[in-house]
Structure 1
Amino acid sequence: MKRITCLLIWVGLYCLFMAACKPDGTDLTPPVPSNPDPAPPTPVEQGAVQPVGTPQGTAVVKTIGPAGGSITAEDDRFTVTIPAGALTKDVDISVQPITNTNEAGVGDGYRMLPDGQQFAKPVTMTVKYTAEEGRRTFPKAFGIAYQNAKGVWMAVGGTQVDTTNHTVSIEVNHFTDFTFFKYVYLEPELTAIDPGQSVDIELFDLGSINWLLEDFPKGQERPLPKPHAVDYIDGWEVQGEGKVVGAGKKVTYQSPGQLPATNPVRVVARLKSPGKEVAQLISTIYVLNEGISLQAGGGDWVHFPKAGAHLRGSIKGLDGENGQRTVNIKWEAGPKPVDALGIYPWAKTYPGIIYRPDPITEYTHLYLVDKKVYISEGSIKATDMKYGVIFGTFDVKSSGAFVLSIPPVVSTSSLRGVFRVKCMDCVR
C-alpha cells in the first residue's frame, strides 16, 4: 500500500514539473516528419572561379541586323548564327579569339561583343572539332560553356553533336566569352616524346561520370568545378609499341627505344559506371625526335633534325635537311595555318614529295611503268597542331626511285614517314 501511495505521489510531482516547464500550453511533442527517412541533401556545386581570357589573334567584325546572319572566327572553328528577328536594329558583332581559361577547354576561347548583348530569339554557337579530337573521346563528353560575371564557366544544356560534320552546337540568348570543352579527358590528350622516354597520363573530369549518362536539356545550365582525378577506370591498353606501367587513374607510358612501326601510339583508358563500360578515352603520343623521320624501301629510318613547316598561304610545305639528304613535301589547302590539317592523297602537282638521299637519287610520289607516269597510292596526313607544332604521317606505297646516272636507273620503291615540325610562319 505504501508503494502504491509513493508511486502516485511521484507521478503527480512529474506532471506538475512538466506543466511548469511547458510555456503557456505550447505542445512540446516533436513533429512527425513527412518523410521518416529523407535522402541527404544534394550539395550545390558552386563552380570554380577562373581568370578572364586575354585577346589573341585577329577579331572579325560584321554588322548584323533584323534579317539575321552569321559570323565566323578567323580560325574558321567557331561560328555564331543569329536568326531573323533576334535583333531589332543593326549591331556591330565581333568574335575575338582569347586564351582559354576553362581548365577542360579545347583550343582557344572566343569573346563575343557587344558583351551582354541580348537576343529576342536564341542564337546558335557552333564549334568544329577535328576527326582526331573526335577519336580521342566520345560525343557525350563534348560541351560548350560561357563565363559568367563571377568568373565561373557555365555549361549549357541541349548540346547537339553532329558526328558526320564534326560540329558541336548550343543555343544561347546573350553574348560573353565562350569555350569548347570536354567533361572527361586524359592529360595529355596529345603529346610527343623522344624514343625511350616516358610520359605520365592521368584521367580528369568535371563531375560524376553520371553527368554524361543523364539528360541535360536545353535551357539548363551547370557550373563547372575544377577538374579532378577520377578512378572509374576499367583498364588501360596500348595500341602500338611500348607499355603502360601502373594502374588506376594515373599511369605511365614507356615508349620503345627506337621509332615504333606505328606512329602515333595511342593509350586507351576504358571507363565504367557503375559496373559497365561506358566509353573509351585516348591519349595520342607521337614517338619521334623533333623533325621529320622517313623510311625508304623498308630500310633504315633517316631523321631530319633540321626541319620546318610553312603553313601560311594556299601551298603548305614541310622541308627537312640532314647533311646532303633533303626531303620536301608540298600540299594545297586554305590560306590559314590550321587549314593544313587533313588527309591529302598524292597528285601530279600538289600534294607531292621529293626525297633526295644523295645528290643523284630521288624518290617521288610519281612512278614509271612502260614509260607512263602514274601517281602513287598513299597520302600526307596532317593530323594535329599544338603550340605551333604540326604532327602527322605520310606514306607513298609505290614511290618512283630515279638515279641520275648514265644510263639512268628507274625503279619502284616505297616511302613512309612521320613528322613533328615547328611552323615557321604561323606567328608573325
Structure 2
Amino acid sequence: MKTNLKLLVWALGVMLSLSCKKDKNATKEPASSKAVPVALGTPNGAAVQKTIGPAGGTIEMPGSAIVLNIPAGAVDAATIFSIQPITNTLGQMGIGNSYRLLPENVSFKKDIEIVFNYTEDQLIGTSGEFMSAAYQDAKGYWHAPSKATTEQYNFTVKVKTKHFSDWILTHKVVMINKGKGTLEKNETADFQVLMQSFEETIDDDDLLGPVIQVTEANVVSWELTGDGSIGNGKSVSQKYTAPSTIKQRGIATISVTLKDVWKKILDPLPGQPTESWVFYEIKLMPDEYFIWKQNGEEFEGSQRLQATSLGNGQIVINTEAPHKETSVFLSISGNYPGKHLFTAEPKDGSSLGVVGYLNFLFTSRYTCENKNKSTDGYVTITSTGEKPGDYVIGELAGNFANGNGCSPEVSFVTGKFKIMLQK
C-alpha cells in the first residue's frame, strides 16, 4: 500500500510543480496573525566542517540528512564551510534538527544547493507534496524560500541560495496524533490537521506565520484503512478507536482528503488540482506479544508464548518466532517492578537471558577461566502478574555472548513483551 501511496503523491507533485507559480497580486486567505520572531536555536550536536576552494565541493552531515553542494566559482579562495546541528525553534512544522550553515554574512558568487534528504517515516502525518524547507534570519523570523523544490520520488527537498543562516526541513500541512502511536484493543487516539500560515513580503521569500488548524470547509472526508473505527462527518478533528480484539500486529491508516489547501500556500492556476491528502499510520498490538531485535533484524514470537511463575518469586518467559528458527528465554528472579540486571550468579533482582538464532546460542552468562561472567544488560519489569490471567509487561536490552572464553563474540538484543501469567 505504501508504494501506491508514494506513486500517487509523486504524480500529484509533478502536476503541481508544472503548474504552480507565485503571483504577488493574487488574493490569499489572510493569516490569523502576523509572523513573530522566535529565539535562535542552540547547538545540540557535533558540527562538521570542510575547507572548499574555487573548484567547489560537497559537505554533508553523517547520514546525509543535509548536504551542501558548492559549485565551482562560488568562492574565490579556500573557505571553511560548516554545518552545526541546533535545536528546532520552528515548532510543529519543523522536522528534526535545524542546521546552522557557515560562513554567515557572505554573499556567494553562485547559488549554493542545500539538499535535505528525508525518510518514509518522516512522511507519517503528511505527504511529499507538502515537504519543504525554511530558514531563520538573525532577527528570529522564519522564511519560506521561493527557490525550494521537492523531488518526492527521491525523498529530497532542494534549495538554491547565495547566503547562509539557520535552515530546517519542514512540512506545510501535517496530521498530528494527540495520543499514542501504538494502540492495544479499545484504546483511542485523536487527530487534527494543522497547516502553516504565511505573511507575504515585498521580496520573494514570505515570512512564516502561526500554525493554524484547517477549517471544515477544507475537509472533504476522513477514511480508515484497516481494523478499528472512526467517526463520520467532515469535522476538523477525528477520533480513532482500536478494535476490541487484536490477534496479531497490524497497521491502521487514517487519511483525510483536503480541498483548497493549496490556495492558501501556492496560489494555484486555473485547472490545477485542488484536492490533496495526508495520512497517519497507527500500530496495533495484540493482547500478548514478544517482539525483539537482534543486530537490527526484528522478530515476533507467536509460538509457545508463555510467562510462568515458579512459585518462589521467579518468572520464566519464553517464545519462538516461526519460520525464522529463533527463540528467547528469560529467567527473572523477583516478581516485582524494576530493572533486573544480568548477573553471573542468580540472586534476587537479577535476570538471565538466552537467545537462540539459527544454530547459534547467545546467553547473558558465560565462563572465563572457569569463572561465571555476565554480559551487560537487563530486563525491566513494568507490570507483574500476581495471579494467572494477569499480564507480565516489560522490556529487554543487553549484549548476549556466543560461546565462552574471556572475549566472546557478543550480539546486541532489545525487546518488549506483554504475556499472560500462567502457573
**TM, length-normalised to structure 1:** 0.57
Q: 1:266 to 1:68 in 2, by over 3 A?
A: same
| Displacement of 1:40 | 9.6
Q: Which residue of 1 aligns with 2:111?
A: 122
| Displacement of 1:132 | 4.1
Structure 1: 5+ residue stretches without partners: 1-38, 294-300, 330-351, 366-418, 423-428
Matching of residues 409-424 of structure 1 within 5 Å:
none
Q: In structure 2, which of residues 205, 209, 213 is the aligned counterpart of residue 225 of structure 1?
A: 209
- Partners in 2 of 1:176 and 1:326 — Cα distance? 53
What are the Cα deviations for residues 162-211 of structure 1, in whole angstroms up to 9, with x where unaligned? 22321110101111110010111111399233332211111111138xx9
Q: Which residue of 1 aligns with 2:182?
A: 192
Matching of residues 24-103 of structure 1 within 5 Å:
46-103=34-91
Q: Which residue of 2 aligns with 1:355?
A: 326
What are the Cα deviations for residues 313-370 of structure 1, in whole angstroms up to 9, with x where unaligned? xx535588964425689xxxxxxxxxxxxxxxxxxxxxx95432779998969xxxxx
Q: In structure 1, which of residues 147, 163, 166 is the aligned counterpart of residue 136 of structure 2?
A: 147
Q: Which residue of 2 aligns with 1:248?
A: 235
**What secondary structure, in the 3-state scheme, does the structure 1 residue paired with 2:59 have?**
strand
| Displacement of 1:74 | 2.2
- Partners in 2 of 1:421 and 1:119 — Cα distance? 52
- Partners in 1 of 2:144 and 2:28 — Cα distance? 22
Q: 1:357 to 1:60 in 2, by over 3 A?
A: closer
Moved over 6 A (4+): 39-45, 319-322, 357-365, 419-422
User: How many positions carry a matched residue from both structures?
Assistant: 284
8 Å Cα contact 2:228-2:242 kept in structure 1: yes
Q: 1:302 to 1:223 in 2, by over 3 A?
A: same
**What secondary structure, in the 3-state scheme, does the structure 2 residue paired with 1:227 have?**
strand
- Partners in 1 of 2:28 and 2:221 — Cα distance? 33
Q: 1:187 to 1:135 in 2, by over 3 A?
A: closer
- Partners in 2 of 1:206 and 1:186 — Cα distance? 12
What are the Cα deviations for residues 74-127 of structure 1, in whole angstroms up to 9, with x where unaligned? 232111111111111112111122222212011221111223332111101111
Q: 1:67 to 1:139 in 2, by over 3 A?
A: same
Q: 1:47 to 1:356 in 2, by over 3 A?
A: same
- Partners in 1 of 2:27 and 2:96 — Cα distance? 39
Q: Which residue of 1 aligns with 2:296?
A: 316
1:192 maps to a residue whose letter is T
**What secondary structure, in the 3-state scheme, does the structure 1 residue paired with 2:129 have?**
helix
Q: 1:264 to 1:319 in 2, by over 3 A?
A: closer
8 Å Cα contact 2:98-2:166 kept in structure 1: yes
Q: Which residue of 2 aligns with 1:283?
A: 280
Q: 1:147 to 1:287 in 2, by over 3 A?
A: same
2:221 maps to a residue whose letter is G
Q: 1:319 to 1:238 in 2, by over 3 A?
A: closer
Q: In structure 1, which of residues 231, 236, 249 is the aligned counterpart of residue 222 of structure 2?
A: 236
- Partners in 2 of 1:324 and 1:41 — Cα distance? 61
Q: 1:194 to 1:101 in 2, by over 3 A?
A: farther
**What secondary structure, in the 3-state scheme, does the structure 2 residue paired with 1:187 have?**
strand
Q: In structure 1, which of residues 312, 325, 349 is the aligned counterpart of residue 318 of structure 2?
A: 325
- Partners in 1 of 2:284 and 2:28 — Cα distance? 49
**What secondary structure, in the 3-state scheme, does the structure 1 residue paired with 2:44 have?**
coil
**What secondary structure, in the 3-state scheme, does the structure 1 residue paired with 2:296 have?**
strand
Matching of residues 161-176 of structure 1 within 5 Å:
161-176=150-165
Residue 159 in 1 paired to residue 148 in 2? yes
Point out the more displaced range, 267-276 or 146-155.
Answer: 267-276
8 Å Cα contact 1:241-1:262 kept in structure 2: no
Q: Which residue of 1 aligns with 2:251?
A: 264
- Partners in 2 of 1:252 and 1:185 — Cα distance? 16
Q: 1:40 to 1:52 in 2, by over 3 A?
A: closer
**TM, length-normalised to structure 2:** 0.58
2:187 maps to a residue whose letter is Q
| Displacement of 1:160 | 1.8
| Displacement of 1:56 | 1.8
Q: Which residue of 1 aligns with 2:101?
A: 112
8 Å Cα contact 1:240-1:260 kept in structure 2: no
2:88 maps to a residue whose letter is N
Point out the more displaced range, 225-234 or 125-134.
Answer: 125-134
8 Å Cα contact 2:125-2:176 kept in structure 1: no
- Partners in 1 of 2:81 and 2:128 — Cα distance? 30
- Partners in 1 of 2:255 and 2:29 — Cα distance? 33
Alpha-carbon RMSD across the aligned residues, in angstroms, is 4.0
Structure 2: 5+ residue stretches without partners: 1-25, 264-272, 302-306, 308-315, 331-353, 360-413, 418-423
Q: Which residue of 1 aligns with 2:171?
A: 182
8 Å Cα contact 2:124-2:280 kept in structure 1: no
User: Once the two structures are aligned, what percentage of the paired residues are identical?
Assistant: 25
Task: Return the index of the structure with the highest Cα Rg.
Answer: 1
